[in-house]
Amino acid sequence: MTATDLHWMDASEIAARVRDKTLSPVEVTEACIARIEQRDGELNAFCLPMFDIARDKAKQAEAAQMRGEFWGPLHGVPYAIKDSDDYKGQLTTVGSLPNKGHVATGFSPIIERMERAGAIPLGKTTTPDMAWIGLTYSELHGMTHNPWDKSRNPGGSSGGSAVAVAAGMAPLATGTDGAGSIRIPASFCGIYGLKPSHGRIPLMLPNTNQHTHYGPLTRSVTDAALMMEVCSGPDDRDLYSLECPSPKYLESLDKPLKGMRVGWSADLGFVDKIDPEVLATCEAAAQRFADLGAEVVPADLDLSGSMEIAKRNWQAIMSAIVNHRLGDHLDALDPALVACARGALTQTSGEFLFDKVNAFPIYQRLVGWFEQHDLLLTPAVACLPVTNGRLLPEDYPEHDWDWMEWAPFSSPFNLFHNPAASVPAGLSEAGLPIGLQIVGPRHADALVLQASRAYERVAPWAHQRPPE
């Protein structure tokens, strides 16, 4: 087996080979470290390598393996950690200069569960300043580059995690998604990303607007289902974690979609700007669901107003972080982040709550639509990967902060807590990845994974890798 084989091996295969003792945790960990050392200087996916910890834990995992002891379903599988997750004793900067010396005193719940399952931590991945934007760059850690075209951004805010997976540096990575931060980089980097139902994977953030979700970034749907089985479930430290036990995602993964009703929407009733290549690629991908036995129909669904509400909620979240928590450090923050946060200062608490009132009937329309349909398909993002150094694509009006105009398909499902995934739908003429979004009713995470896996079978993407 070559190092290249290990770079692109799925986590589920690594775990199986470790368990049958045909692959050493040390061997696969060293292969990932070598790959990071080879590629990351030009991509900037990792802001904090944790190679000493990885090597030590891999040796322990190998010793346990030789004794026939296995810590869990990810025993010996390397993974990457978004730099908004806490790993005790390591820096958690969230890409922000004011946090450059912050050392975590504990573990985030998702990291606790990955560690308990036997996974090997490779290091922290880059994220933008306070994870505020659908791109990945920061004054603290610099610009992260898309492995498909280094002049382009990988998306964000889980951009470093997406690059690590897409470039063969890690088979698994953690991500967070407050307005598309898993699905945007999954789309831009040509990998799989799942934002589960809100609360499915617990988190330890105030999260007062309940927009932020934890989820996996992987190269295969099976790996995402495996990671969901490891990381899902209630936690008393999270007020909003779902109390019900999580499904066995792997058991239902290969169930057929025959007889399901699937809706395709190019605009959700309000999107008026979309790249023609994105539209054509995603529409063709949506029609592939007919090959799976599903009925594909135009989605008569109007979620007008949802993105504007989500946008104002997002500004309020940023205002809480910037104006109140980091108010003494404004000069050290991304100016676009500060502009976003300042925009919320004119909003009264009554207006904020009135947005919640106005969101309710829009959500009821979505609930009613799902009573007649099983799944919703849309583009994941309205544009191709954005050129590095820009907040918006070249053909969008300039704005001091509003990146959400080019990612209108993601934030409604943060607002309404639906599970939503981005699957690779194809490449543009210039060889840039395009993602299709698969959305399910609240709590139907297993169904979204099942649909993603079915699509993966008829339109596989694993053979499509970024150029070296």
Are 10 and 223 in contact by the 8 Å Cβ rule? The answer is yes
Catalytic one of 157, 158, 232, 265: 157
Catalytic one of 12, 24, 57, 82: 82
DSSP-H helix ranges across 44-193? 51-66, 109-116, 159-166, 183-189
Spell out the residues 6+ positions from residue 66 whose beta carbon is closer than 8 angstroms to its own: 21
Spell out the residues 6+ positions from residue 451 whose beta carbon is closer than 8 angstroms to its own: 257, 260, 262, 289, 375, 438, 440
**What is the length of the chain?**
468
Q: Is 258 a catalytic residue?
A: no
| Tokens 């007919």, located at residue | 290
Encoded tokens for 430: 């210039």
Q: Is 197 a catalytic residue?
A: no
| Tokens 């040390």, located at residue | 26
Catalytic one of 12, 138, 158, 181: 181
Q: Is 57 a catalytic residue?
A: no
CA 234 to centroid of chain Cα atoms:
20
3-state DSSP assignment of residue 350: helix
Select from 33, 76, 24 the least CA-distant residue to 51: 33
DSSP-H helix ranges across 44-130? 51-66, 109-116
The catalytic residues are 82, 157, 181
